[in-house]
Protein backbone atom coordinates (compact mmCIF):
# COMPACT_ATOMS: atom_id res chain seq x y z
CA UNK A 1 0.00 0.00 0.00
CA UNK A 2 1.34 3.43 -0.95
CA UNK A 3 2.00 5.93 1.82
CA UNK A 4 -1.05 8.13 2.45
CA UNK A 5 -0.97 11.87 2.01
CA UNK A 6 -2.45 12.38 5.48
CA UNK A 7 -2.51 10.44 8.73
CA UNK A 8 -5.10 10.98 11.46
CA UNK A 9 -3.79 9.98 14.91
CA UNK A 10 -6.40 9.21 17.58
CA UNK A 11 -5.56 8.02 21.13
CA UNK A 12 -8.43 6.08 22.71
CA UNK A 13 -9.18 5.00 26.27
CA UNK A 14 -12.47 3.28 27.14
CA UNK A 15 -14.35 4.78 24.18
CA UNK A 16 -16.56 1.84 23.15
CA UNK A 17 -19.72 3.95 23.51
CA UNK A 18 -18.64 6.53 20.94
CA UNK A 19 -16.54 4.25 18.73
CA UNK A 20 -19.24 3.50 16.12
CA UNK A 21 -20.06 7.20 15.63
CA UNK A 22 -16.37 8.06 15.45
CA UNK A 23 -15.65 5.52 12.71
CA UNK A 24 -18.75 6.51 10.75
CA UNK A 25 -17.63 10.15 10.63
CA UNK A 26 -14.03 9.23 9.86
CA UNK A 27 -15.10 6.91 7.04
CA UNK A 28 -17.28 9.65 5.54
CA UNK A 29 -14.33 12.04 5.76
CA UNK A 30 -11.93 9.57 4.11
CA UNK A 31 -14.41 8.90 1.28
CA UNK A 32 -15.02 12.58 0.56
CA UNK A 33 -11.54 14.05 1.07
CA UNK A 34 -9.51 14.57 -2.13
CA UNK A 35 -6.28 13.22 -0.57
CA UNK A 36 -5.59 9.69 0.66
CA UNK A 37 -5.95 9.23 4.43
CA UNK A 38 -4.84 6.53 6.85
CA UNK A 39 -6.13 6.60 10.43
CA UNK A 40 -3.90 5.45 13.30
CA UNK A 41 -5.97 4.33 16.29
CA UNK A 42 -4.01 3.95 19.54
CA UNK A 43 -5.57 2.02 22.41
CA UNK A 44 -4.15 3.23 25.72
CA UNK A 45 -4.82 0.16 27.83
CA UNK A 46 -8.61 0.36 27.71
CA UNK A 47 -10.62 -1.82 30.10
CA UNK A 48 -13.72 -2.04 27.91
CA UNK A 49 -14.21 -3.36 24.35
CA UNK A 50 -12.23 -0.56 22.68
CA UNK A 51 -9.14 -2.71 21.83
CA UNK A 52 -11.38 -5.43 20.38
CA UNK A 53 -13.27 -2.91 18.24
CA UNK A 54 -10.03 -1.32 17.01
CA UNK A 55 -8.53 -4.71 16.17
CA UNK A 56 -11.58 -5.90 14.24
CA UNK A 57 -11.74 -2.66 12.26
CA UNK A 58 -8.04 -2.69 11.33
CA UNK A 59 -8.26 -6.33 10.19
CA UNK A 60 -11.08 -5.59 7.73
CA UNK A 61 -10.19 -2.08 6.54
CA UNK A 62 -6.61 -1.22 5.56
CA UNK A 63 -7.32 2.50 5.87
CA UNK A 64 -7.24 2.01 9.65
CA UNK A 65 -4.11 1.04 11.58
CA UNK A 66 -4.29 -0.27 15.15
CA UNK A 67 -1.72 0.17 17.90
CA UNK A 68 -2.56 -1.63 21.16
CA UNK A 69 -0.40 -0.54 24.08
CA UNK A 70 0.52 -3.02 26.82
CA UNK A 71 -1.11 -0.88 29.56
CA UNK A 72 -2.43 2.59 30.25
CA UNK A 73 0.47 5.02 29.74
CA UNK A 74 -1.58 8.22 29.64
CA UNK A 75 -3.06 10.37 26.89
CA UNK A 76 0.11 12.25 25.94
CA UNK A 77 2.19 9.07 25.69
CA UNK A 78 -0.50 7.29 23.66
CA UNK A 79 -0.54 10.25 21.29
CA UNK A 80 3.25 10.05 21.02
CA UNK A 81 2.98 6.34 20.17
CA UNK A 82 0.69 7.19 17.28
CA UNK A 83 2.94 9.97 16.02
CA UNK A 84 5.89 7.57 15.88
CA UNK A 85 3.96 5.38 13.40
CA UNK A 86 3.14 8.24 11.04
CA UNK A 87 4.06 7.64 7.39
CA UNK A 88 2.10 10.40 5.65
CA UNK A 89 3.76 12.29 2.83
CA UNK A 90 2.16 15.64 3.70
CA UNK A 91 0.87 15.93 7.24
CA UNK A 92 -0.95 14.62 10.28
CA UNK A 93 -4.17 15.57 12.05
CA UNK A 94 -4.35 14.87 15.80
CA UNK A 95 -7.78 14.47 17.36
CA UNK A 96 -9.34 12.85 20.42
CA UNK A 97 -11.81 10.03 20.01
CA UNK A 98 -14.74 11.59 21.87
CA UNK A 99 -15.90 13.67 18.87
CA UNK A 100 -15.85 16.92 20.83
CA UNK A 101 -13.47 18.18 18.17
CA UNK A 102 -14.93 17.81 14.65
CA UNK A 103 -12.81 15.68 12.27
CA UNK A 104 -14.47 17.50 9.36
CA UNK A 105 -12.31 20.54 10.23
CA UNK A 106 -9.52 18.75 8.35
CA UNK A 107 -10.55 20.65 5.20
CA UNK A 108 -9.81 24.02 6.82
CA UNK A 109 -6.62 22.71 8.39
CA UNK A 110 -5.41 21.38 5.05
CA UNK A 111 -6.26 24.65 3.29
CA UNK A 112 -4.04 26.55 5.75
CA UNK A 113 -1.35 23.88 5.31
CA UNK A 114 -1.34 24.52 1.56
CA UNK A 115 -0.97 28.23 2.33
CA UNK A 116 2.44 27.49 3.86
CA UNK A 117 1.74 26.74 7.53
CA UNK A 118 3.39 23.77 9.24
CA UNK A 119 1.18 23.79 12.35
CA UNK A 120 -2.52 24.62 12.33
CA UNK A 121 -4.14 24.30 15.75
CA UNK A 122 -7.79 24.55 16.71
CA UNK A 123 -8.86 27.31 19.08
CA UNK A 124 -12.09 26.76 21.01
CA UNK A 125 -14.28 29.83 20.56
CA UNK A 126 -17.34 28.20 22.17
CA UNK A 127 -17.16 25.27 24.60
CA UNK A 128 -20.40 23.35 25.01
CA UNK A 129 -18.61 20.39 26.55
CA UNK A 130 -17.82 21.57 30.06
CA UNK A 131 -19.30 22.96 33.25
CA UNK A 132 -18.48 26.35 34.70
CA UNK A 133 -15.68 24.99 36.95
CA UNK A 134 -13.75 23.35 34.11
CA UNK A 135 -14.25 26.33 31.80
CA UNK A 136 -12.87 28.73 34.40
CA UNK A 137 -9.92 26.53 35.40
CA UNK A 138 -9.03 25.97 31.74
CA UNK A 139 -9.33 29.71 31.03
CA UNK A 140 -6.94 30.67 33.84
CA UNK A 141 -4.59 27.74 33.24
CA UNK A 142 -3.66 28.89 29.74
CA UNK A 143 -3.18 32.48 30.85
CA UNK A 144 -1.05 31.57 33.86
CA UNK A 145 0.95 29.15 31.71
CA UNK A 146 1.66 31.90 29.18
CA UNK A 147 2.99 34.11 31.99
CA UNK A 148 5.20 31.34 33.40
CA UNK A 149 6.75 29.89 30.25
CA UNK A 150 9.28 31.37 27.87
CA UNK A 151 7.49 30.09 24.75
CA UNK A 152 4.24 31.25 23.19
CA UNK A 153 1.80 28.41 23.94
CA UNK A 154 -1.53 29.27 22.26
CA UNK A 155 -4.41 29.97 24.62
CA UNK A 156 -7.63 27.93 24.50
CA UNK A 157 -5.99 25.34 22.27
CA UNK A 158 -5.62 21.63 22.98
CA UNK A 159 -3.96 18.82 21.05
CA UNK A 160 -6.44 19.11 18.16
CA UNK A 161 -4.32 20.24 15.23
CA UNK A 162 -2.76 19.52 11.84
CA UNK A 163 1.03 19.30 11.56
CA UNK A 164 3.32 18.88 8.59
CA UNK A 165 5.31 15.65 8.37
CA UNK A 166 8.55 17.47 9.19
CA UNK A 167 7.10 18.87 12.43
CA UNK A 168 5.92 15.40 13.45
CA UNK A 169 9.39 14.03 12.73
CA UNK A 170 10.92 16.64 15.06
CA UNK A 171 8.37 15.94 17.81
CA UNK A 172 9.01 12.19 17.62
CA UNK A 173 12.75 12.79 18.00
CA UNK A 174 12.29 14.71 21.26
CA UNK A 175 13.00 12.38 24.22
CA UNK A 176 10.88 13.99 26.97
CA UNK A 177 9.50 11.46 29.43
CA UNK A 178 6.91 13.89 30.86
CA UNK A 179 5.32 15.06 27.64
CA UNK A 180 3.13 18.09 27.03
CA UNK A 181 2.52 17.84 23.29
CA UNK A 182 0.94 21.25 22.72
CA UNK A 183 3.90 22.89 24.47
CA UNK A 184 6.39 20.84 22.44
CA UNK A 185 4.44 21.76 19.31
CA UNK A 186 4.83 25.46 20.13
CA UNK A 187 8.52 25.04 21.04
CA UNK A 188 9.56 23.59 17.66
CA UNK A 189 8.56 26.78 15.89
CA UNK A 190 7.90 26.80 12.11
CA UNK A 191 4.97 28.73 10.64
CA UNK A 192 1.92 28.33 12.87
CA UNK A 193 -1.65 29.59 12.70
CA UNK A 194 -5.04 28.89 14.27
CA UNK A 195 -8.53 27.93 13.18
CA UNK A 196 -11.45 28.79 15.47
CA UNK A 197 -14.24 26.28 16.03
CA UNK A 198 -17.07 25.43 18.42
CA UNK A 199 -16.32 22.48 20.70
CA UNK A 200 -19.24 20.09 21.05
CA UNK A 201 -20.46 18.08 23.99
CA UNK A 202 -19.34 14.48 24.34
CA UNK A 203 -21.42 12.25 22.05
CA UNK A 204 -21.27 9.36 24.52
CA UNK A 205 -19.41 8.15 27.59
CA UNK A 206 -17.71 10.32 30.18
CA UNK A 207 -14.53 12.37 30.28
CA UNK A 208 -11.33 10.46 31.07
CA UNK A 209 -9.55 13.57 32.39
CA UNK A 210 -10.12 13.65 36.16
CA UNK A 211 -9.02 16.62 38.26
CA UNK A 212 -5.91 14.64 39.23
CA UNK A 213 -4.98 14.04 35.59
CA UNK A 214 -5.58 17.69 34.73
CA UNK A 215 -3.31 18.77 37.60
CA UNK A 216 -0.61 16.35 36.43
CA UNK A 217 -0.82 17.78 32.91
CA UNK A 218 -0.62 21.31 34.33
CA UNK A 219 2.48 20.46 36.40
CA UNK A 220 4.13 18.76 33.41
CA UNK A 221 3.47 21.90 31.39
CA UNK A 222 4.87 24.28 34.02
CA UNK A 223 7.91 22.24 35.08
CA UNK A 224 8.65 21.17 31.52
CA UNK A 225 8.64 24.65 30.00
CA UNK A 226 9.43 27.11 32.78
CA UNK A 227 12.22 27.96 35.21
CA UNK A 228 9.98 30.39 37.11
CA UNK A 229 9.39 27.96 40.05
CA UNK A 230 13.16 27.75 40.67
CA UNK A 231 13.45 31.53 40.45
CA UNK A 232 10.54 31.78 42.89
CA UNK A 233 12.59 29.80 45.42
CA UNK A 234 15.40 32.35 45.12
CA UNK A 235 13.00 35.26 45.59
CA UNK A 236 11.36 33.64 48.61
CA UNK A 237 14.76 33.03 50.16
CA UNK A 238 15.78 36.63 49.53
CA UNK A 239 12.48 37.93 50.96
CA UNK A 240 12.98 35.78 54.07
CA UNK A 241 16.52 37.15 54.58
CA UNK A 242 15.28 40.74 54.20
CA UNK A 243 12.46 40.09 56.66
CA UNK A 244 14.91 38.56 59.15
CA UNK A 245 17.32 41.51 58.95
CA UNK A 246 14.44 43.96 59.30
CA UNK A 247 13.28 42.16 62.41
CA UNK A 248 16.86 42.15 63.79
CA UNK A 249 17.19 45.90 63.26
CA UNK A 250 13.81 46.46 64.91
CA UNK A 251 14.90 44.40 67.94
CA UNK A 252 18.24 46.27 68.26
CA UNK A 253 16.57 49.68 68.04
CA UNK A 254 14.03 48.71 70.65
CA UNK A 255 16.81 47.48 72.93
CA UNK A 256 18.94 50.62 72.51
CA UNK A 257 16.25 53.28 72.72
CA UNK A 258 13.43 51.73 74.69
CA UNK A 259 15.30 49.37 76.99
CA UNK A 260 13.61 46.18 75.92
CA UNK A 261 13.45 43.59 73.19
CA UNK A 262 10.56 42.33 71.11
CA UNK A 263 8.94 39.39 72.83
CA UNK A 264 5.99 37.11 72.43
CA UNK A 265 5.45 33.43 71.88
CA UNK A 266 2.93 34.05 69.07
CA UNK A 267 5.45 36.06 67.04
CA UNK A 268 8.13 33.40 67.49
CA UNK A 269 5.71 30.61 66.53
CA UNK A 270 4.60 32.54 63.44
CA UNK A 271 8.20 33.05 62.34
CA UNK A 272 9.02 29.38 62.78
CA UNK A 273 5.96 28.25 60.81
CA UNK A 274 6.66 30.79 58.06
CA UNK A 275 10.29 29.70 57.66
CA UNK A 276 9.35 26.01 57.76
CA UNK A 277 6.66 26.57 55.14
CA UNK A 278 9.06 28.42 52.84
CA UNK A 279 11.63 25.65 53.18
CA UNK A 280 9.15 22.83 52.51
CA UNK A 281 7.64 24.72 49.59
CA UNK A 282 11.10 25.28 48.09
CA UNK A 283 12.06 21.64 48.63
CA UNK A 284 8.85 20.58 46.89
CA UNK A 285 9.64 22.70 43.84
CA UNK A 286 13.20 21.41 43.73
CA UNK A 287 11.91 17.85 44.13
CA UNK A 288 9.61 18.23 41.12
CA UNK A 289 12.57 19.07 38.89
CA UNK A 290 14.75 16.34 40.42
CA UNK A 291 12.17 13.56 40.04
CA UNK A 292 11.65 14.49 36.40
CA UNK A 293 15.39 14.34 35.83
CA UNK A 294 15.53 11.00 37.66
CA UNK A 295 12.91 9.37 35.44
CA UNK A 296 14.38 10.95 32.30
CA UNK A 297 17.84 9.49 32.99
CA UNK A 298 16.43 5.96 33.30
CA UNK A 299 16.03 5.96 29.50
CA UNK A 300 13.05 3.63 29.65
CA UNK A 301 10.90 3.43 26.52
CA UNK A 302 8.00 5.88 26.61
CA UNK A 303 5.56 3.07 25.87
CA UNK A 304 5.36 -0.63 25.04
CA UNK A 305 3.33 -1.84 22.07
CA UNK A 306 1.43 -5.06 22.67
CA UNK A 307 0.13 -5.44 19.13
CA UNK A 308 0.11 -3.57 15.83
CA UNK A 309 -2.22 -4.12 12.87
CA UNK A 310 -1.28 -2.50 9.58
CA UNK A 311 -2.58 -3.29 6.08
CA UNK A 312 -4.96 -5.80 7.67
CA UNK A 313 -2.00 -7.78 9.06
CA UNK A 314 -1.06 -8.35 12.71
CA UNK A 315 2.49 -7.36 13.64
CA UNK A 316 3.35 -8.39 17.20
Tens-place pLDDT, residues 216-241 = 767 776 776 667 777 777 777 777 77
Domain ranges of the chain: 6-131+152-210+302-315, 228-297
For domain 6-131+152-210+302-315, the CATH superfamily is Spore Coat Polysaccharide Biosynthesis Protein SpsA; Chain A (3.90.550.10)
Tens-place pLDDT, residues 20-63 = 999 999 999 999 999 999 999 999 988 999 999 999 898 998 99
Adjacent-strand bridge partners of 192: 119
Q: How would residue 265 be classed by pLDDT, with cut points 50, 70 and 90?
A: low
CB 92 within 8 A of CB 165: yes
Task: Examine the pLDDT at 130 and tell me if it is beyond 70.
Answer: no
CB 202 within 8 A of CB 14: no
Percent of the chain with pLDDT over 90: 22
Q: What are 232-239's contacts with CB under 8 Å, separation 24+?
A: 232/285, 233/282, 233/285, 233/286, 236/278, 236/281, 236/282, 237/278, 237/282
Predicted TM-score of the model (pTM) = 0.74
Mean pLDDT computed over 166-184: 85
CB 39 within 8 A of CB 64: yes
Tens-place pLDDT, residues 96-111 = 888 888 899 999 999 9
- Alpha-carbon span 175 to 170, nearest angstrom: 10
Written as one string, the DSSP assignment of 188-243 is T-SSEEEEEEEEPPPSSS--S--HHHHHHHHHHHHHHH--HHHHHHHHHHHHHHHH
Mean pLDDT computed over 120-147: 68
| Alpha-carbon distances, residue 54 vs 18, 64, 91, 161 (angstroms) | 12, 9, 23, 22
Amino acid sequence: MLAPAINIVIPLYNEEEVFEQLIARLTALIDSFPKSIEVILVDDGSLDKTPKLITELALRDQRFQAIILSRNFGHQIALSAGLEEVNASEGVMVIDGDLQDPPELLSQFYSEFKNGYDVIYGVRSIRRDEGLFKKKTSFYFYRVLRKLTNIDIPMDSGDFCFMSSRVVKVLSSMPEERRFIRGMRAWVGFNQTSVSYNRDERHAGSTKYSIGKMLKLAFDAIYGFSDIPIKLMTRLGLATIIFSFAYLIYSLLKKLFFGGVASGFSGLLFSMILLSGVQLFSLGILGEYIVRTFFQTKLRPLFIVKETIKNKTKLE
